[in-house]
Amino acid sequence: MADVITPRSVDYAQWYVDVVRAAKLADYSPVRGCMIILPNGYALWENMRAVLDRMFKETGHENAYFPLFIPQSFLAKEAEHVEGFAKECAVVTHSRLKIDEKGQLIPDPESKLEENLIVRPTSETIIWDAFSRWIQSWRDLPILINQWANVVRWEMRTRLFLRTMEFLWQEGHTAHATREEAIEEALRILDIYTTFAEEYMAMPVIQGVKTPSERFAGAVDTYCIEALMQDGRALQAGTSHFLGQNFAKAFDCKFQNQNNELEYVWATSWGVSTRLIGALVMTHSDDQGLVLPPRLAPTQVVIIPIFRNDVEKSAVLEQAGRIERELKDAGFTVKLDARETHRPGWKFNEYEVQGVPVRVAIGPRDVEQGTVELARRDTRTKETVPQEGLAERVRTLLDDIQQNLLARARAFRDEMTTRVDTYEEFKEVLEEKGGFILAHWDGTPETEARIKEETRATIRCIPLDRDAEALGTREEGRDMLTGKPSKQRVVFAKAY
Amino acid sequence: MADVITPRSVDYAQWYVDVVRAAKLADYSPVRGCMIILPNGYALWENMRAVLDRMFKETGHENAYFPLFIPQSFLAKEAEHVEGFAKECAVVTHSRLKIDEKGQLIPDPESKLEENLIVRPTSETIIWDAFSRWIQSWRDLPILINQWANVVRWEMRTRLFLRTMEFLWQEGHTAHATREEAIEEALRILDIYTTFAEEYMAMPVIQGVKTPSERFAGAVDTYCIEALMQDGRALQAGTSHFLGQNFAKAFDCKFQNQNNELEYVWATSWGVSTRLIGALVMTHSDDQGLVLPPRLAPTQVVIIPIFRNDVEKSAVLEQAGRIERELKDAGFTVKLDARETHRPGWKFNEYEVQGVPVRVAIGPRDVEQGTVELARRDTRTKETVPQEGLAERVRTLLDDIQQNLLARARAFRDEMTTRVDTYEEFKEVLEEKGGFILAHWDGTPETEARIKEETRATIRCIPLDRDAEALGTREEGRDMLTGKPSKQRVVFAKAY
Ligand SMILES: [Zn+2]
Ligand SMILES: [Zn+2]
Task: Please tell me if residue B79 touches chain A, with a CB cutoff of 8 Å.
Answer: no
**Alpha carbon distance B411, B279 (integer Å):** 17
CA distance B120 to chain A (A): 12
Contact B26, B9 (CB under 8 A): no
The two beta strands, A417-419 and A436-440, are parallel
CB contact under 8 A, A62 and B39: yes
Ranges of residues in chain B whose predicted pLDDT is under 50: 1-2
Cα nearest neighbour of A109 on chain B: B91
**Alpha carbon distance A358, A414 (integer Å):** 27
Report the number of secondary-structure helices (H) and strands (E) in chain A: 15, 27
Residues 6+ positions from A204 with CB-CB distance below 8 Å: A197, A198, A227, A228, A406, A409, A410, A413
Of A408, A52, A455, A491, residue with least CA distance to A236: A491
Give per-residue pLDDT as tens, A121-150. Answer: 999 999 999 999 999 999 999 999 999 999
Task: Supply the pLDDT for residue B2.
Answer: 45
Task: Please tell me if residue B338 touches chain A, with a CB cutoff of 8 Å.
Answer: no
User: Strand (E) positions, A42-90?
Assistant: 62-63, 69-71
Cα–chain center distance at A191 = 15
Cα–chain center distance at A342 = 34
Residue from B40, B81, B95 whose CB has the most chain A CBs within 10 Å, to mutate: B95
**Alpha carbon distance B488, B472 (integer Å):** 9
- Measured between beta carbons, the chain B residues lying within 8 angstroms of A91 are 92-97, 107
**Alpha carbon distance A320, B187 (integer Å):** 34
Q: What domains are defined for chain A?
A: 2-96+107-284 (3.30.930.10), 301-397 (3.40.50.800), 417-493 (3.30.110.30)
SS3 A304: strand
Number of other CB atoms surrounding residue A153 within 10 Å: 19
Can you give the pTM of this predicted structure?
0.96
Q: Which one of B65, B74, B92 has the shortest CB-CB distance to A37?
A: B65
Q: How far, in Å, are A165, A254, A264 from residue B73 at the CA level?
A: 20, 47, 48
Task: Please tell me if residue B184 touches chain A, with a CB cutoff of 8 Å.
Answer: no
User: B105: which strand partners?
Assistant: B99
What is the distance between the terminal CA atoms of chain B, rounded to a whole angstrom? Answer: 25
CA distance B1 to chain A (A): 9
What does pLDDT average to over chain A?
96
Q: Is the ipTM of this complex over 0.85?
A: yes
Cα–chain center distance at A113 = 36
3-state secondary structure chain B: CCCCCCCCCCCHHHHHHHHHHHCCCEEECCCCCCEEECHHHHHHHHHHHHHHHHHHHHCCCEECECCCEEEHHHHCCCHHHHHHHHHHCCEEEECCEEECCCCCEEECHHHEEEEEEEECCCCHHHHHHHHHHHCCEHHHCCEEEEEEEEEECCCCCCECCCECCEEEEEEEEEEECCHHHHHHHHHHHHHHHHHHHHHHCCCCCEEEECCHHHCCCCCCEEEEEEEECCCCCEEEEEEEEEEECHHHHHCCCEEECCCCCEEECEEEEEEEECHHHHHHHHHHCECCECCCCCCCCCCCEEEEECCCCHHHHHHHHHHHHHHHHHHHHCCCCEEECCCCCCCHHHHHHHHHHCCCCEEEEECHHHHHHCEEEEEECCCCEEEEEECCCHHHHHHHHHHHHHHHHHHHHHHHHHHCEEECCCHHHHHHHHHHCCCEEEEECCCCHHHHHHHHHHHCCEEEEEECHHHHHHHCCCCCEECCCCCCEECCEEEEECEC
Please state whether A60 falls in left (phi above 0), alpha (psi between -120 and 50) or beta: left
Q: Return averaged pLDDT per consecutive 10 residues of chain A, 496 residues in all.
A: 83 97 97 96 98 98 98 89 90 95 92 96 97 97 98 92 97 98 98 98 98 94 98 98 97 97 98 98 98 98 97 97 98 97 95 98 97 98 97 98 98 98 98 98 98 98 97 97 97 97
Q: What phi, psi does B337 have (nearest 5°)?
A: -100, 95
Alpha helices in A330-455 (DSSP H): 344-353, 364-369, 390-415, 423-432, 445-455
* Residue B237 CA, ligand 1 centroid: distance in Å: 48
**Alpha carbon distance B470, B127 (integer Å):** 38
Of A107, A325, A337, A47, residue with least CA distance to B89: A107
* Residue A461 CA, ligand 1 centroid: distance in Å: 3
Task: Supply the pLDDT for residue A2.
Answer: 45
- Selected residues 155-174 of chain A with any CB under 8 Å from a CB in chain B: 166, 168
Q: What phi, psi does A142 have (nearest 5°)?
A: -80, 160
Of A462, A459, A482, A458, residue with least CA distance to A473: A462
Rounded to a whole number of angstroms, the CA Rg of chain B reads 26
Of A8, A127, A150, residue with least CA distance to A64: A127
Give per-residue pLDDT as tens, B300-334. Answer: 999 999 999 999 999 999 999 999 999 999 999 99
Contact A228, A197 (CB under 8 A): no
- Measured between beta carbons, the chain A residues lying within 8 angstroms of B74 are 30
CB contact under 8 A, A90 and B166: no
Residue from B53, B105, B171 whose CB has the most chain A CBs within 10 Å, to mutate: B105
- Measured between beta carbons, the chain B residues lying within 8 angstroms of A92 are 90-93, 119
Cα–chain center distance at B162 = 9
- Half-sphere exposure for A395 (CA within 13 Å, toward CB): 10
| Cis peptide leading into residue A142 (ω within 30°) | yes
CB contact under 8 A, A145 and B39: yes
